Amino acid sequence: MDREPRAEVRATIHEHLAWWGLKRFTSDADYFVWQRKQLSPADLTQLNAQIDRKRGGERRDEVAFYDLTTQPLMLPVLYSQRYEYYCEIGSHVAARFGNANSILDFGCGVGILSTFYATQYADRQFVGVDRSPASIAVAREKARKLGLTNIRFECVDVESENLAGAYDLIVATHALVQAEQDPGIPSHSWQTFERARDAKQQAAFEQRTGIGIRLDRLRASLAREGRMIVSEKTRQLARRVPFQRALAGRGLQPVEAPKPIHYQLVEEVADDGPFYVLGRGAPQQFQWDESPEPDAGGPFDRNNLKTDSTDPDAPLYENHWPSAQRVWEKLHDTHLLKETTNQGPDGRQLHVELGQAEEGVYLYCANTLDQRQLVIVEPARMVMLESYYQEIASSVL
């Protein structure tokens, strides 16, 4: 099976996205100029109000949002924001069809990627399903215009209906974990990134995000030797762990090393994924990774802590990433001055401590959603850290 997207596949995606009326922008400012030319202030107000409602997580608001995105003027404007996502995900998925003859694209939306796959693999049969009726109507119309006879689209909400058929490959990209506001599952204490194997907590996550029922229904539609390709916004450990456990709990195992996905969106660089290729009942060749993602925490050299900053308030060392924990654990001759651990009613914890070490005065902060922060300053600047300490220690969870 091909693993890396071929250059010609990437080139065809650009043609395909252009056919859909999507534009590629290298500057956010250019995108917003274009957006304001295409959409009236009233359109933008309506859209923003619908985006806010969707955040509430109600099914009807989510469906209404996706229905709204299909309006002829809105569609290219909104989906152009996801241009690089389509290139990245589309090319990775298209490189992994293997021998699959029947392919389901779950949560296909208006079918931008499903129609791409169907044009690339004219000899395979595709089905796209989505619960947004307007998205399915657009998908059908676009497939007809593209002359595709190997794809059909169905309006199905898998939370309330079973899927018919048994597919060799099921693709679900940005469709399984819709609950973007859900923080996931906290670690079992501020000292660790580990999550307890708590069946109740896992079941609650699967239920409130709707992922349990979605996965059950997809898994039931997967052929015996079938594969699943899944990529969601589950890079943060607190979401990644319960998501992976939900997959593993249904007998799905990675058949290649899960990889992080990185692409540019309007106004943000998205780090999401991982991109998983899973086999049903496949032997365990790759371990699920439950460790924090590699981060950009600066290297720690205790012999050379002085920054070359001209700012007198600049700390000797600062790390706002999970790797701060490793550095904090290795500080020399620490003497704790004060510490507070706040606990929320749901078990979340926030710990902050102020201490002295051979390296300087330090403030360390850690919570059960994997945030870590270590700041080391010269002893003479301790007052600054004390005020941060008070601020953090008095926060309510």
Ligand X SMILES: C[S@@+](CC[C@H](N)C(=O)[O-])C[C@H]1O[C@@H](n2cnc3c(N)ncnc32)[C@H](O)[C@@H]1O
Binding site for ligand X (CB under 6 A): 66, 107-109, 112-113, 129-132, 135, 156-159, 173-175, 178, 214
Give the type of residue at 138.
Answer: V
- Smallest distance from the beta carbon of 302 to ligand X, in angstroms? 46
- Smallest distance from the beta carbon of 158 to ligand X, in angstroms? 4
- Smallest distance from the beta carbon of 49 to ligand X, in angstroms? 18
- Smallest distance from the beta carbon of 68 to ligand X, in angstroms? 11
- Smallest distance from the beta carbon of 138 to ligand X, in angstroms? 11
Q: Where are the alpha helices (DSSP H) in 234-355?
A: 237-248, 324-329
Nearest CB to ligand X, comparing residues 229 and 374: 229
Nearest CB to ligand X, comparing residues 66 and 389: 66
Angstrom distance (rounded) from CA 142 to CA 16: 11
Nearest CB to ligand X, comparing residues 112 and 324: 112
| Residue from 75, 136, 72, 74 nearest 109 by CA | 136
The answer for 271, left when phi > 0, alpha when psi is -120 to 50, beta otherwise, is: beta
DSSP label at residue 233:
B
- Smallest distance from the beta carbon of 218 to ligand X, in angstroms? 10
Q: Where are the alpha helices (DSSP H) in 186-236?
A: 199-209, 211-220
Nearest CB to ligand X, comparing residues 157 and 293: 157
Preceding amide of 274 cis, omega within 30: yes
- Looking at beta carbons, which residue is closest to ligand X? 107
| Residue from 73, 77, 76, 51 nearest 64 by CA | 51
Run of H or E residues at 384: helix 382-393
Nearest CB to ligand X, comparing residues 141 and 157: 157
Nearest CB to ligand X, comparing residues 135 and 368: 135
| Residue from 369, 374, 371, 397 nearest 385 by CA | 374
Q: Where are the alpha helices (DSSP H) in the chain?
A: 7-19, 28-38, 41-55, 59-68, 74-80, 83-94, 112-120, 133-145, 199-209, 211-220, 237-248, 324-329, 382-393
Nearest CB to ligand X, comparing residues 130 and 353: 130
- Smallest distance from the beta carbon of 252 to ligand X, in angstroms? 18
